[in-house]
Structure 1
Amino acid sequence: MGSPLPSLACLDCGKLSQGSRCPACATARRRSKERQRAAHRPSPYQRGYNAEYRRNRAIVLADGPCCFVEGCTAAATTVDHILPLSLGGTNELDNLRPACRRHNASRANRLDWEA
């Protein structure tokens, strides 16, 4: 087997670690970046997820309990905007389709879903 990784001084606290930061400092740094990112993100309402969206989401999920992706057997727990809100889409029923969390998150704001 190979030799163990050399110990390095953490860039933040100076403790010896296997990477550039010790686990505690790495976790603190990640959480700090997540807080900064969240502070700059508009609220769901400001991004277009209003009462109309919530009402139509319930209708779509009741009508289509399965994910829209062919071959996916996961239950639809979210709705996907066919034309994303960020690209001018709406919360109307004809622009929403049922999706599992995995496929909805992986599609992001692209126009067509790609595997």
Structure 2
Amino acid sequence: MKLEGEQTLMRVFIGESDRWKSQPLHEALVEMLRREGFAGATVIKGIMGFGCHSVTHTDKLLRFSADLPVIVEVVDTPEKIKAIMPRIDDMMSGGMVTLENVHVIRYRKNENSCS
């Protein structure tokens, strides 16, 4: 797959405890994106954050450490991102999705291995 030039970066901001059916939402999103043939996705777990309710979630407070912030990032063509947005919206009960234009300089698999 060749993915270079102007593309779209989608970030999905959710909580670690968010679910889709019986599965963690971030896992369900990544699996769905993989099945749909996206170039790749990365899940980033935050150590501190707050959302629309202004409740701070941090790994320092045991009481709030069960719902740390999670970001799912994916870069692909604007058309693929736009087409998948309704499905992502259906899977989310809260959170935020952002889109940015990005310029992909390099996207190639390593000939010796591929993650």
For the superposition of Structure 1 and Structure 2, which TM-score range results when normalised by the shorter chain?
A: under 0.3
Higher RCO (CA-CA < 8 Å; seq separation 6+): 2
State TM-score, norm by structure 2. Answer: 0.22
| Larger helix fraction of residues | 1
State TM-score, norm by structure 1. Answer: 0.22
